[in-house]
Structure 1
Amino acid sequence: MTERSYPFDAGAGAGITEDQWSYMASSWQTDGVDSPGPSGDSLKVSTTGQPFTLLVKAGHANLAGFHYELDLDQSVLFEANTAADIRVDRLVLRLNRETNTVALAVKKGAVGSSTPPGIDRSWASPEIPLAYFTLRANSDTVAPADLVDAREFVASGVQMLSPASASTGARQLAEGQIGYDPVAQKFYAQEAATKVEIGKQPDLSPYLTRSDAQSTYSPLGHTHSYMSNSITSGTLTAASPWYFESSGYERIGSLTHIWGAISYSQGTIDELAPDNSVMFTFPYSAGPTRLFRMPIIGQGYSFSPVSSGVYVERSGSTARAITNFFQVRKQTWYYFDVTFISA
Structure 2
Amino acid sequence: MAITAYPFDSQAVTETQFSYLFRELSSGVAASSDSSAFRVSAAGTSMAVTVQPGFALVRGHAVLSTAVETVTIPAADTATRTDAVVLRLDPTANTITLAVLKGAPGSPSPSLTQTDSGIYELRLAWVTVPGNATSITASNVAEGRQFTRGYVGSWWNSTRPTSPRLGDLGFNRSTSAWEFWNGSSWANLAPSVSWPSVTDKPSVFPPAAHTHSWSQISDAPSTIAPSAHKHAWGDITGTPSTYPPSSHSHSWSSITSKPSTFPPSSHSHSQYLTSGSTISWANGTKRAHAYHVGGSGTYYAVWVDGSGDFGRNTSSIRYKTNVRDSEVTSGDVLALRPRVYDRKDYEKPDGTPVTGRKNEFGLIAEEVFETLPEIVCFNEEGEIETVRYDLLGVALLPVVQDQEARIKALEERLSALEGQVSAT
TM-score (structure 2 length as normaliser)? 0.38
Task: Kindly indicate which of the two structures has a greater share of residues assigned to strand.
Answer: 1
Task: Kindly indicate which of the two structures has a greater share of residues assigned to helix.
Answer: 2
Structure with more contact order per residue of length (Cα contacts < 8 Å, sep ≥ 6): 1
